[in-house]
Amino acid sequence: MTRSFLLLGACAVAAFAAYNLLRSGPSEEGAQTMPRQSNAIVALQMPPLAGNAAIGQRVFETACSACHGSNAAGNEDAGPPLIHIIYEPAHHADEAFQRAVAMGVKSHHWRFGDMPPVAGLTRGDVAMVIAYIREIQRANGID
Ligand code: HEC
């Protein structure tokens, strides 16, 4: 009788320890999912990225994410999400992205002001960014 109580107690302690480990252990820091930026405008499903889309992600994070947010989810303080029905291919074809980067954008959809041209990117770089954006759009039902 006493033995089974002890066993039960040991199990409870082990379960509690495991629970705490799972809650606050190192698993959270090594998580694969991107943390959602606190100032993001939309919540996203991120698809696995490879090839051109993965290259485009690096270009985007360097040249665009300061305004459009990480993964183009928008930034409440700086710029709109590009993962948005407004930017579906039928409304903003790939050429609209090339034009936006080369010549900038006069504010017309949002309240963030104009987008200045972005220097230092080739059309090829922008094509990678477009592949990246389209991939995330598709994963979020925007196509
Ligand atoms: C300095 C901030 C800023 C940066 C950097 C920036 N954008 Fe923008 N972008 C904006 C804002 C603000 C708008 C929304 C304008 C409006 O009100 O319609 C916009 C709009 C756009 C649009 C929509 C164009 C249209 O025809 O309506 C595209 C596409 C776009 N950006 C792509 C990019 C890409 C790609 C990069 C990086 C190479 C980038 N942006 C970098 C601020 C920025």
pLDDT in tens, 91-128: 999 999 999 999 999 999 999 999 999 999 999 999 99
Residues whose beta carbon lies within 6 Å of some atom of ligand 1:
63-64, 66-68, 78-80, 92, 96-97, 100-101, 105, 107-110, 112-113, 115-116, 118, 121, 129
Chain-centroid distance, C-alpha 61: 10
The CB-side HSE value for 121 (13 A sphere, CA atoms) comes to: 26
pLDDT attached to residue 38: 81
Distance (Å, whole) CA 106 – CA 135:
26
How many Å apart are CA 107 and CA 53, to the nearest integer?
A: 27
Q: Are 143 and 88 in contact (CB under 8 A)?
A: yes
Structure tokens at 8: 């039960």
Taking the centre of ligand 1 as the mean of its atom positions, its distance from the CA of residue 2, in whole angstroms, is 70
pLDDT for the residue numbered 8? 47
